[in-house]
Chains A and B, each alone.
Chain A
Amino acid sequence: MGAVSDFEDHRLRIVTAGKHEVGVLRWHDRFYAIHNRCPHQSGPVCLGIVSGRLSSQAPGSMEVDEETPVLSCPWHGWEFELERGRALWDPSYAVKMVPVRVESDRVVLEVGRTAG
């Protein structure tokens, strides 16, 4: 998909891999790849916003877990954590993740396999 340095941190870049569109995200030194199709209404989920997981210890508090990227679908705002692709409100509901790794400083997608 290109050199690691080609990917801007915290930005999703949509690439074509085989027959599919895949969003590739660099998050610090980690990479995530997400099938660009929301399981809800088939929206282009990778056009959504990625941010650290917002959580709270008590009503009124807002905390961000910067280590856990969360993708919000632009169509209805449904949120998916990107370690496994799972919806924040139901771990059995998920976006499809694509295996991705860094080899010799290059980002490699394993198209045809499903991660997690």
Chain B
Amino acid sequence: MYSGPVIDCDVHHARSTDAELIPYLSKGWRDYVTDRGPAGNVPLTVQDGFPNPHGFMRADTYPKGGGEPGSDYPTMRDQLLAASDVRRAILTFGDDSHLAGHHNPYFAAELARATNDWSVERWLSQDSRLFSSIMVGSQLPEVAADEVRRHAANPRMVQVMLVDNPFNRGFGHPIFHPIYAAAQETGRPVAIHGGAGGWANPPSTGGGSVSTYFETHVLWPQAIQTHLVSFIAHGVFEKYPRLRIVLIEGGSAWIPSLLWRFDTEYKGLRREVPWLKRLPSEYFARHVWVTTQPLEVAPKKENVVDLLRSQNLEDRLVYSSDYPHWDADEIDYLTTRLPADWHHRVFFGNACRLYGWKEEDVEETRAVAEKAR
């Protein structure tokens, strides 16, 4: 068991209705969205995806007063923050996280701006333990960079989040670089969240489109792998040497295999990427963090631990619950799968390093939150 401090790096806060977000749109976009007469408003979220036969949410997370899971702060507080010693939670949005899947790039940019403002006003104001991702409409990378800079002075807007892929190019492609310039300049990590396939995107499965949620969920790591390889091969970490990235919800046990292959390929194919100055695994070790959920489950748990240890991932894994989603990993469960001497690092210390926090400051944040309650 683990009773120490926790930083949860993937908490999906959501809204129940479009009406919650519409006031945050500019007047022009509000009219565009709402002036449709009996047709109702233009949908604000991307309308696509694979249905989960159980639903995407844990049944126990539906708020008693109605609304969507993740949409009600008191419910989240009681079920997640108070259930263990959560000092900080990184909010990662619900369906709005897919806004880069919109076909209309201008609408996506406006939605990103509105969504971020909604997150600050509706959520960060309620509890000092809450921190938010910055959503960007990556369809327009320069505009997305401006959106990142707009939040530079707010220390609780802690990372830039990419999910959907508007260009069918790995996220290391130079077309995305303005976003990374802004992330480095403002000291924010870039978070790459799994699950973009099957929306208004190119398929995230390398061999082609799949047919069921079952398949796409098994294959979520593929897109994360593509983006990781792309980041390193394009020399993003040479161009932005202070940039950090965190891979969310893509698993982790595959990382050693990929890095072994990556290093070997580099030895023979360096001529194609001479801007790389070190082995791919060295860039990974310097720049990349990985969330725990979903931790791969092997019949012998030590098999997974050995793989993770082979890349020193005990110093790079950061705990994530994925609350309130159906496949969330509980802290008590994870403590049975990971060695005890990893717990403090994985549940707390590694995330402090990722976000540039001093552990004593995080302690103080908790004290303030408790006092406020």
Which A residues lie at the B interface, using CB under 8 A? 54-63, 72, 76-79, 87-90
Tell me how many residues of B have a C-beta within 8 Å of chain A. Answer: 16
Max chain A C-beta neighbours (<10 A), residue from B236, B239, B275? B275
B279 touches A89 (CB 8 A): yes
**Residues in chain B near residue A62, CB distance under 8 A:** 274
Q: Complex Cα distance A56/B275, Å?
A: 5
Known A-B contacts A58-B275, A60-B174; the reply to A88 vs B238 at CB < 8 A is: no
Q: Told that A59-B236, A88-B270 touch, could you supply 10 new A-B pairs with CB distance under 8 A? A: A55-B274, A58-B235, A59-B234, A60-B174, A60-B275, A77-B271, A78-B267, A89-B267, A89-B278, A89-B279
User: Cβ of B271: which chain A residues have Cβ within 8 Å of it?
Assistant: 54, 72, 77, 79
B266:A89 contact, CB within 8 angstroms: yes
Docked Cα-Cα span, A61 to B234, in Å, equals 11
Q: Are B279 and A59 in contact (CB under 8 A)?
A: no
Q: In the complex the two chains form, what is the Cα distance from A62 to B63 in whole Å?
A: 58
- Chain B nearest CB from A93 CB (Å) reads 9
Across the interface, B239 reaches (CB within 8 A) one of A59, A72, A76, A77, namely: A59
Chain A nearest Cβ from B211, distance in angstroms: 37
Cβ < 8 Å to A, chain B residues 262-308: 266-271, 274-275, 278-279
> Could you tell me if A59 and B268 are in contact, using CB atoms closer than 8 angstroms?
no
Which residues of A are found within 8 Å of B268, using beta-carbon distances? 76-78
B232: min CB distance to chain A, Å? 11
> Across the two chains, which residue of chain A brings its CB closest to B275?
A56
* The residue from A59, A63, A79 contacting B270, defined by CB atoms under 8 A apart: A79
A59 touches B275 (CB 8 A): yes
Q: How far is the CA of A76 from the CA of B271 in the complex (A)?
A: 12
Closest CB of chain A to B241's CB: distance in Å? 12
Is the pair A58, B239 in contact by a Cβ cutoff of 8 Å?
yes
| Residues of chain A within 8 A of B238, CB atoms compared | 58-59
What residues of B have a CB within 8 angstroms of the CB of A56 in the complex?
235, 274-275
A89 CB contacts on chain B under 8 angstroms:
266-267, 270, 278-279
Report the minimal beta-carbon distance from A36 to chain B, rounded to whole angstroms. 19
User: In the complex the two chains form, what is the Cα distance from A77 to B269 in whole Å?
Assistant: 7
- Chain B residues with Cβ below 8 Å from A88 are 270
Determine the distance from Cα of A3 to Cα of B239 in the docked complex, in whole angstroms. 48
B157 → chain A closest CB, angstroms: 28
CB 8 Å contact bits of B225-252 with A (1 = contact, 0 = none): 0000000001110110000000000000
Chain A nearest Cβ from B25, distance in angstroms: 37
Give the distance in Å from the alpha carbon of A90 to the alpha carbon of B269 in the complex: 14
Task: Report chain B residues within 8 Å CB of A60.
Answer: 174, 275
- Max chain A C-beta neighbours (<10 A), residue from B234, B235, B268, B269: B268
Can you give 20 A-B contacts (C-beta < 8 A)? A55-B274, A56-B274, A57-B275, A58-B239, A58-B275, A59-B234, A59-B235, A59-B236, A62-B274, A63-B274, A72-B271, A76-B267, A77-B268, A77-B269, A78-B268, A79-B267, A87-B267, A89-B270, A89-B279, A90-B279
Residues of A within 8 A of B174 (CB): 59-60
Instruction: Give Cα A1 to B210, complex, Å.
Output: 63
Closest B residue to A61 by CB, please name it: B275
CA distance A79 to B270 in the complex (A): 8
CB B212 to nearest CB in A, in angstroms, measures: 38
A43 to chain B, nearest CB (A): 12
Taking the nearest CB of chain B, how far is it from the CB of A73, in angstroms? 8
The docked-state distance in angstroms from the alpha carbon of A61 to that of B174 is: 13
Which residues of B lie under 8 Å from residue A76 when comparing CB positions? 267-268
Closest 3 CB pairs of A and B: A77-B268, A59-B235, A56-B275
Please pick, from A54, A72, A90, the residue contacting B274 in the complex, using a CB distance under 8 A. A54
**Which B residues lie within 8 Å of A79 (CB)?**
267, 270-271
Contacts of B274 in A (CB 8 A): 54-56, 62-63
CA distance A55 to B238 in the complex (A): 13
* A13 and B271 alpha carbons, distance in the complex (Å): 23
The docked-state distance in angstroms from the alpha carbon of A58 to that of B271 is: 14
B239 contact set on A, CB distance < 8 A = 58-59
